[in-house]
């Protein structure tokens, strides 16, 4: 039986969601006939298995965890946010010569950086919100609200705020820096939030299920609480015309290839009167029962056991 190491938790603010995603993946792998081997990284960075902490410190527990990884056939990182979704676990698996589900280290690292992702998107002719990159130590710029302030390398809208008053910009930048030193200040985009799932099949083709739409009040942020507390209005499938759907699928698949994504990724867009505008890319989207990614995949004929089976087989074939 194929042993699959499922790594969840992590030190990011998305720790709790990652635990739920990892639990769902473990159950799905077992249903698909695999032997899942759960490994958890706690908020301090200590690795654990089902019996408890592998050692007292992050470094010592990682050393012990490497032995468990070596006993497995495939690594399935289910970490949201950095460190983890930025390619750290993918790089570790690659160094160990193990197939890894999802994006390789370089694709994950680029996609995790919103500024780098926007640069790639622009090179492909995909629209993005105009913005200013603030490096550590840069002064708060003079901009005309409304704007969106966000850390460049955080997920689930951690540290993101919509600023309607210029007097609030400095505080928003400080809050964003708590989740990452570099910060983006972007023009506010008015549009419908539509997400697309992209799944790489074992034959190398890309599957794009019907997209999902989340309704959020004007000026609000589709943050972690709204994603998982059931308060966001959901339309599935999203009610968009065929031309817009085709434009979204084209943008998502070209960006998937250009970023070096593999296995799976989620692409978030704003659908505006002028066409789709890229918001962000997630290389390890949520897998909880409330998450949009597995819901989209189910509509395309891949329930969660089938999805994880396809992802594991794709990782093994690629290796």
- CATH code (residue 262): 3.30.470.20
Pairwise CA distance, residues 14 & 17, whole Å: 5
Same structural domain, 243 and 312 = yes
DSSP 289: T
- The answer to whether 220 and 279 have CB atoms below 8 angstroms apart is no
Length of the chain: 319
Q: How many domains does the chain have?
A: 3
Quick one: average pLDDT of 131-151? 94
Residue with tokens 């995790």: 112
Same structural domain, 175 and 210 = no
Where residue 227 falls among pLDDT bands split at 50, 70, 90? Answer: low
For the chain, the 3-state helix, strand and coil shares in percent, each to the nearest 5, are 35, 25, 40
pLDDT beyond 70 at 131: yes
Same structural domain, 141 and 52 = no
Same structural domain, 179 and 221 = no
Alpha helices in 32-183 (DSSP H): 58-70, 88-95, 105-112, 114-123, 169-177
Same structural domain, 65 and 181 = no
Best CA proximity match to 304, nearest among 76, 11, 42, 9? 76
Residue 146 φ/ψ, nearest 5 degrees: -80, 145
Instruction: Give the three-class secondary structure for 134.
Output: strand
Same structural domain, 244 and 122 = yes
Residue 120 φ/ψ, nearest 5 degrees: -65, -45
Where residue 193 falls among pLDDT bands split at 50, 70, 90? Answer: very high
CATH code of 178's domain:
3.30.1490.20
Pairwise CA distance, residues 285 & 40, whole Å: 18
pLDDT beyond 90 at 230: no
Note down the domain range covering 155: 134-187
CATH code of 11's domain:
3.40.50.20
Sheet with 183-187: strands ordered across: 131-134, 183-187, 147-151, 161-163
- The answer to whether 111 and 90 have CB atoms below 8 angstroms apart is no
Same structural domain, 297 and 209 = yes
Same structural domain, 90 and 198 = no
Pairwise CA distance, residues 50 & 30, whole Å: 15
Same structural domain, 241 and 282 = yes
Instruction: Give the three-class secondary structure for 160.
Output: coil
- Give per-residue pLDDT as tens, 34-65: 999 999 999 999 999 999 999 999 999 999 99
Q: What is the pLDDT of residue 158?
A: 81
Residue 152 φ/ψ, nearest 5 degrees: -75, -20
Best CA proximity match to 81, nearest among 106, 103, 113, 57? 113
Pairwise CA distance, residues 3 & 69, whole Å: 9
Where residue 310 falls among pLDDT bands split at 50, 70, 90? Answer: very high
Same structural domain, 155 and 51 = no
Q: What is the pLDDT of residue 78?
A: 98
Q: What is the pLDDT of residue 231?
A: 63
Assigned token pair, 34: 């695999």
Same structural domain, 259 and 144 = no
In terms of C-beta density within 10 A (0-12 exposed, 13-18 middle, 19 or more buried), how is residue 50 classed? exposed
In whole numbers, what is the pLDDT of the chain averaged over residues? 93
- Give per-residue pLDDT as tens, 93-104: 999 999 999 999
Pairwise CA distance, residues 199 & 7, whole Å: 20
Q: What is the pLDDT of residue 156?
A: 58
Same structural domain, 141 and 166 = yes
Pairwise CA distance, residues 255 & 95, whole Å: 26
């Amino acid at each position: 039986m194929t042993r699959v190491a499922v790594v969840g938790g992590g030190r990011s603010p998305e720790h709790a969601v990652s635990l739920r995603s990892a639990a769902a993946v473990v159950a799905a792998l077992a249903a698909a006939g695999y032997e899942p081997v759960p490994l958890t990284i706690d908020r301090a960075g200590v690795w654990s298995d089902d019996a408890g902490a592998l050692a007292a410190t992050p470094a010592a527990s990682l050393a012990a965890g490497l032995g468990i990884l070596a006993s497995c056939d495939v690594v399935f990182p289910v970490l949201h946010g950095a460190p983890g979704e930025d390619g750290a676990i993918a790089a570790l698996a690659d160094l160990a010569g193990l197939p890894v589900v999802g994006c390789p280290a370089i694709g994950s690292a680029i996609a995790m950086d919103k500024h780098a992702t926007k640069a790639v998107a622009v090179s492909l002719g995909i629209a993005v919100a105009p913005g200013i990159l603030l490096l550590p130590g840069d002064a708060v710029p003079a901009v005309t609200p409304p704007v969106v302030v966000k850390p460049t390398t955080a997920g689930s809208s951690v540290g993101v705020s919509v600023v309607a008053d210029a007097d609030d910009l400095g505080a928003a930048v400080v809050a964003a820096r708590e989740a990452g030193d570099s910060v983006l200040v972007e023009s506010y985009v008015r549009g419908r939030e539509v997400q697309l799932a992209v799944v790489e099949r074992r034959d190398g083709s890309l599957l794009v299920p019907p997209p999902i739409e989340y309704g959020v009040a004007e000026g609000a942020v589709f943050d972690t609480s709204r994603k998982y507390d059931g308060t966001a209005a959901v339309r599935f499938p999203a009610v968009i015309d065929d031309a817009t759907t085709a434009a979204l699928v084209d943008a998502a698949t070209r960006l998937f290839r250009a970023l070096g994504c593999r296995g799976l990724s989620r692409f978030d867009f704003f659908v505006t009167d002028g066409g789709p505008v890229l918001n962000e890319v997630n290389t390890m989207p949520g897998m909880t029962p409330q998450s949009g990614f597995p819901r989209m995949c189910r509509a395309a004929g891949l329930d969660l056991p089938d999805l994880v089976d396809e992802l594991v087989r794709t990782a093994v074939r690629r290796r």
